[in-house]
Chains A and B, each alone.
Chain A
Amino acid sequence: MTTVIADHRSPGRPSVVTEALTGVSGLVRLIARRDRAVLGLWVLATVGLLAGAAASTASTYPSPQARADRYDQILAVPTFLVFQSRAFDDGVGALAAQQAFGGTTILAALGAALLVVRHTRGEEESGRRELLGSTVVGRQAPLAAILAVTLAAGVLIGVLGSAALISSGLPATGAVALGTVACGAAWIGAGMGAVAAQLTTRPALAAIGALGTFVVLHYLRGLVHLGGDRLAWLGWLIPNGWLEQVRPFADERWWPLALVAALTAALVAGAGALSARRDLGAALVAPRRGPATAVPALRDPLRLAWHLHRGSILAWSLGLAAIGSAMGAAGSAAVADYADLAWVADYASALRLSDPADAFFVYVVFVFVFVTAGHAVFLTLRLRTDEASGLAESLLATPTSRARWAAGHLGVALLAPVLLQTSLGVGLGVGAGAATGDLAGELTRGLGLALPLVPAVWVLVGVTVAAFGAVSRTAPVLGWLAIGIGIGAEIAVKAGVLPEAVYRAVSPFSHVSAYYRPTPLVYIGLVIIAGALIAAGIALLQRRDVLPE
């Protein structure tokens, strides 16, 4: 078909390639205009992560001795290998690169994959692609336009990231290498997003697929290191391993970047080929049919909410259980080895813990409780999306009251953190139990650390509901802001820049922190606050208009 057109085209006619790409420049401007905030935020956050790692490494390990200790610690504690990266040297730059690698590459890939999916499959599903497709826009133009924007943004991350590292006093060569690694991660993420968008008709699935692949490959890269030299060859099959092998600030190796560029080109070409072969709206994996009648249980808002959310709750629970068991296994061994090291003892005493092993698990649980909290807020915000989309209108026109509708999503949003934290606790317990042999004891410890954080998550659910009840559109802003404040306060108070009183006032998580030795009264208080916020939200919801947008 292509050759026929090519053979018969008259001199003045555009080539097939030009034809397919007509309208790219206009689309590029449209994307840049629509998503300038998202693009800016993503680029700055990624660059900020790089710069932050450089600054914190310099301040946390000021002396050569401290850096040498840290280097030994990274070599010995598998967690750092799995979650972050190998360290190739004990200089400030190499340690900063080690600390930044995991977070930076994942954030760079995340932004790129989400943007590409949003502007390809997302636009197709919403029907906007069809509207655009009827104008003078070539078949491949939307894919080409978002790839152009995302790859360019990746280069911008590289340039700004290098500049930030150089300005913090690190050697230029290493800075450029680390910046380029971040750029390479964004490129791989964009390529994976582009391919995933061709495979399924569901944007969310494409985004999770692309991102999940990148994150899983990151952990595989780490696990391969645990296998020692025997498995080293396997590392060369993993793109994240190529990025790691650039070794910024440690006698940089540039040639693995060629592999990254080649992979990006292959992914882009593959996505283009798939996109050229399929119909608009179709995918490689066709949507499946479902049951013609609903199961008898599907009859009220609570069970509807459970039906809608159970898949995501299961997936997140399994994820937390897997992470928990990896951390439990790796952590208990490492902490046993390092219990007498100064930094572990310092950390434990800072948390007022007598057992240094507890310190490590408290740290893990306090990091991952924000995942649980994010998921709970996400579930709560279904109230807002239901209202905006008109689903609430359909439900409320039946004999379902507003309170029952809200209670449906809220019931699941309150249950989910219990399930997720239980999974995390069980994961930690099983992992640590397998390592130490004391399964019952480790399970008790894991659950004992993970579950008491649930009331703090409930408070965030309460904040989100109260905002939703008052003014619908403030709910996402306040809900995510509450989580942002929680994470920010946690970091700021550890870094010593936030007064303790403020930390106690703004973060519900502070009150369940082991440091403040919470009494049963604290938990009851948090439950009462969450309950009062939820009651206020539902009461306010009764008084306002429920309108789709």
Chain B
Amino acid sequence: MSEPIEIRGLVKVFGRARALDGLDLTVTAGHVHGFLGPNGAGKSTTLRILLGLVRADAGRVDLLGGDPWTDATTLHRRLAYVPGDVTLWPGLTGGEVFDLLTRMRGGADPRRRAELVERFDLDPTRRSRTYSTGNRQKVALIAALAADVELLVLDEPTSGLDPLMEAVFQDCIGEAAAAGRTVLLSSHVLAEVEALCEHVTIVRRGRVVESGSLAALRHLGRTSVTAELAGESGALTDLPGVHALHRDGARIRCEVDTDRLDPLLARLAHIGTRGLVVAPPTLEELFLRHYDHSDLQASR
């Protein structure tokens, strides 16, 4: 069976701007896949091509076994989408919008609806024009989460939510994944991606700069080590893979390539440690390092 989303060499040009420049993306069935990148990297364009709203100029796109441009209506029965910038009909109430969208997708279980309205703490009797950004997002999220679909496509769905609602959102995505749904989550909230996603793809200027499982990406990154030492540390930088060493009296702080961790720990143990903190690389570090690097390249 093919994967829910397979994209190869995707190109989209708007006028003179090349929004997508040979983008590849594979999302495995049943996974929550993080889709990261700075503003204007081409994330939303990719999602709109996946939904058949925008036509690709080149490349192959396979969505749930079909072509999103020609089979949009059929494929949309099997997915739900939350746009990045949620617009609602100003004169309809949140509840009306919610019912309208779910009915167009084939209806939703009223109990599920009530449960989600309760969990997201939404007042469905207010007119959409009186909703804040976060509340508009909740309406779209509830409509998407209530739908009985295989695939959820979410474009920065939590940018307007408060931390409490962010937690509810993470619970709901966890449940969706447990139920076997596939989720493509475009996001700027790295903690959210770290908590939810097995796989991530990082895009930059319309191309993928990094893709793989979070564990594998972490392996590529650097572990940060902070130690309180009993003796003189000496020149730790002679060890392979040790970077950015800072010394502050008996305290040292450095980064080390994760696959070169053992020699450093052995050396520290030999010197004698009073305290030791070893932190795995965070997504944020990966992300920032990648972008800084790309920025340098781009500015050259």
In the complex, are the beta carbons of A547 and B140 less than 8 A apart?
A: no
Name the contact of A397 in the complex, choosing from B76, B96, B124 (C-beta under 8 A).
B76
Cα–Cα distance between A548 and B55 once the two chains are bound (Å): 14
Cα–Cα distance between A544 and B93 once the two chains are bound (Å): 31
In the complex, are the beta carbons of B105 and A396 less than 8 A apart?
A: no
**A390 on the interface (CB 8 Å rule)?**
yes
Once A299-B104, A399-B73, A546-B54 are accepted as A-B contacts, the answer to whether A292 and B83 lie under 8 Å apart by CB is no
Cα–Cα distance between A40 and B104 once the two chains are bound (Å): 45
In the complex, are the beta carbons of B96 and A399 less than 8 A apart?
A: no
In the complex, are the beta carbons of A393 and B99 less than 8 A apart?
A: no
Cα–Cα distance between A391 and B80 once the two chains are bound (Å): 15
Within 8 A of A (CB), among B60-75: 72-74
Cα–Cα distance between A546 and B48 once the two chains are bound (Å): 9
Name the contact of A289 in the complex, choosing from B48, B99, B125 (C-beta under 8 A).
B125
In the bound complex, residues from chain A placing their C-beta under 8 Å from that of B160 are none
Cα–Cα distance between A220 and B126 once the two chains are bound (Å): 38
Closest chain-B Cβ to A152's Cβ sits at a distance in Å of 32
Cα–Cα distance between A377 and B105 once the two chains are bound (Å): 30
Closest chain-A Cβ to B209's Cβ sits at a distance in Å of 25
In the bound complex, residues from chain B placing their C-beta under 8 Å from that of A401 are 72-73
**A496 on the interface (CB 8 Å rule)?**
no
**A340 on the interface (CB 8 Å rule)?**
no
Cα–Cα distance between A543 and B55 once the two chains are bound (Å): 8
Once A287-B129, A398-B104, A400-B73 are accepted as A-B contacts, the answer to whether A391 and B51 lie under 8 Å apart by CB is no
Closest chain-B Cβ to A300's Cβ sits at a distance in Å of 7
Within 8 A of B (CB), among A266-293: 287-293
Cα–Cα distance between A291 and B87 once the two chains are bound (Å): 19
In the bound complex, residues from chain B placing their C-beta under 8 Å from that of A298 are 96, 99-100, 103
Proximity bits, B78-118, A CB within 8 Å = 1, else 0: 01110101111101110111111101111000000000000
Cα–Cα distance between A125 and B131 once the two chains are bound (Å): 11
**B53 on the interface (CB 8 Å rule)?**
yes
| Closest chain A residue to B95, Cβ basis | A292
Counting residue pairs across A and B whose Cβ atoms lie within 8 Å, the total is: 116
In the bound complex, residues from chain A placing their C-beta under 8 Å from that of B129 are 125, 201-202, 287
**B243 on the interface (CB 8 Å rule)?**
no
**B188 on the interface (CB 8 Å rule)?**
no
Name the contact of B96 in the complex, choosing from A290, A395, A543, A546 (C-beta under 8 A).
A290
Once A291-B125, A308-B89, A399-B104 are accepted as A-B contacts, the answer to whether A394 and B54 lie under 8 Å apart by CB is no
In the complex, are the beta carbons of A300 and B85 less than 8 A apart?
A: no
Name the contact of A399 in the complex, choosing from B74, B92, B95, B130 (C-beta under 8 A).
B74
Residues of chain B at interface, number, CB under 8 A: 42
Proximity bits, A143-186, B CB within 8 Å = 1, else 0: 00000000000000000000000000000000000000000000
**B218 on the interface (CB 8 Å rule)?**
no
In the bound complex, residues from chain B placing their C-beta under 8 Å from that of A137 are none
Cα–Cα distance between A401 and B74 once the two chains are bound (Å): 9
**B290 on the interface (CB 8 Å rule)?**
no
In the complex, are the beta carbons of A393 and B93 less than 8 A apart?
A: no
Name the contact of B77 in the complex, choosing from A288, A293, A399, A548 (C-beta under 8 A).
A399
Closest chain-B Cβ to A369's Cβ sits at a distance in Å of 28
**A294 on the interface (CB 8 Å rule)?**
yes
Name the contact of A292 in the complex, choosing from B54, B105, B124 (C-beta under 8 A).
B124
In the complex, are the beta carbons of B87 and A390 less than 8 A apart?
A: yes
Closest chain-B Cβ to A232's Cβ sits at a distance in Å of 43
In the bound complex, residues from chain B placing their C-beta under 8 Å from that of A391 are 87-89
In the bound complex, residues from chain B placing their C-beta under 8 Å from that of A125 are 129
Once A290-B127, A545-B55 are accepted as A-B contacts, the answer to whether A397 and B83 lie under 8 Å apart by CB is yes
In the bound complex, residues from chain B placing their C-beta under 8 Å from that of A21 are none
Name the contact of B91 in the complex, choosing from A289, A308, A547 (C-beta under 8 A).
A308
Closest chain-B Cβ to A116's Cβ sits at a distance in Å of 21
Closest chain-B Cβ to A33's Cβ sits at a distance in Å of 26
Proximity bits, B175-204, A CB within 8 Å = 1, else 0: 000000000000000000000000000000
In the complex, are the beta carbons of A394 and B101 less than 8 A apart?
A: yes
Cα–Cα distance between A125 and B130 once the two chains are bound (Å): 9
Within 8 A of A (CB), among B219-257: none
In the complex, are the beta carbons of A396 and B104 less than 8 A apart?
A: no
Cα–Cα distance between A300 and B48 once the two chains are bound (Å): 22
In the bound complex, residues from chain A placing their C-beta under 8 Å from that of B52 are 396
In the complex, are the beta carbons of A396 and B93 less than 8 A apart?
A: no
Name the contact of A390 in the complex, choosing from B54, B83, B99 (C-beta under 8 A).
B83
In the complex, are the beta carbons of A395 and B95 less than 8 A apart?
A: no
| Range, interface on chain A | 35 or more
Closest chain-A Cβ to B85's Cβ sits at a distance in Å of 6
Name the contact of B101 in the complex, choosing from A288, A293, A398, A544 (C-beta under 8 A).
A398
In the complex, are the beta carbons of B53 and A545 less than 8 A apart?
A: yes
In the complex, are the beta carbons of B99 and A399 less than 8 A apart?
A: no
Closest chain-B Cβ to A27's Cβ sits at a distance in Å of 25
Name the contact of B125 in the complex, choosing from A290, A389, A396 (C-beta under 8 A).
A290
In the complex, are the beta carbons of B54 and A396 less than 8 A apart?
A: no
Once A396-B51, A397-B51, A546-B53 are accepted as A-B contacts, the answer to whether A293 and B99 lie under 8 Å apart by CB is yes
**A304 on the interface (CB 8 Å rule)?**
yes
In the complex, are the beta carbons of A300 and B104 less than 8 A apart?
A: yes
Within 8 A of A (CB), among B121-137: 124-127, 129-130
In the bound complex, residues from chain A placing their C-beta under 8 Å from that of B48 are 393, 545, 547
Once A292-B95, A294-B100 are accepted as A-B contacts, the answer to whether A545 and B83 lie under 8 Å apart by CB is no
| Closest chain A residue to B101, Cβ basis | A398
In the complex, are the beta carbons of B100 and A547 less than 8 A apart?
A: no
Once A287-B127, A547-B53 are accepted as A-B contacts, the answer to whether A294 and B104 lie under 8 Å apart by CB is no
In the bound complex, residues from chain A placing their C-beta under 8 Å from that of B86 are 390, 394
In the complex, are the beta carbons of A292 and B104 less than 8 A apart?
A: no
Once A291-B96, A294-B99, A294-B100 are accepted as A-B contacts, the answer to whether A394 and B83 lie under 8 Å apart by CB is yes
In the bound complex, residues from chain A placing their C-beta under 8 Å from that of B87 are 389-391, 393-394, 548
Proximity bits, A386-426, B CB within 8 Å = 1, else 0: 00011101111111110000000000000000000000000
Cα–Cα distance between A294 and B125 once the two chains are bound (Å): 10
In the bound complex, residues from chain A placing their C-beta under 8 Å from that of B79 are 397
| Closest chain A residue to B105, Cβ basis | A398
Cα–Cα distance between A401 and B75 once the two chains are bound (Å): 11
In the bound complex, residues from chain A placing their C-beta under 8 Å from that of B81 are 394, 397
Closest chain-B Cβ to A499's Cβ sits at a distance in Å of 41
Cα–Cα distance between A471 and B61 once the two chains are bound (Å): 25
Once A290-B126, A290-B127 are accepted as A-B contacts, the answer to whether A399 and B105 lie under 8 Å apart by CB is yes
In the bound complex, residues from chain B placing their C-beta under 8 Å from that of A292 are 93, 95, 124-125
Cα–Cα distance between A139 and B76 once the two chains are bound (Å): 48
Given A293-B124, A294-B98, 11 more pairs with CB closer than 8 A: A201-B130, A287-B129, A289-B127, A292-B93, A292-B124, A304-B89, A390-B85, A399-B77, A400-B73, A543-B55, A547-B53
Point out residues on B near A: beta carbons under 8 Å.
48, 51-55, 72-74, 76-77, 79-81, 83, 85-89, 91-93, 95-101, 103-106, 124-127, 129-130, 140, 153
Point out residues on A near B: beta carbons under 8 Å.
125, 201-202, 287-294, 298-300, 304, 307-308, 389-391, 393-401, 543-548
Q: List 13 A-B contacts (CB under 8 A).
A: A125-B129, A287-B127, A291-B95, A291-B125, A294-B92, A299-B100, A308-B89, A390-B85, A393-B87, A397-B153, A401-B72, A545-B54, A546-B54
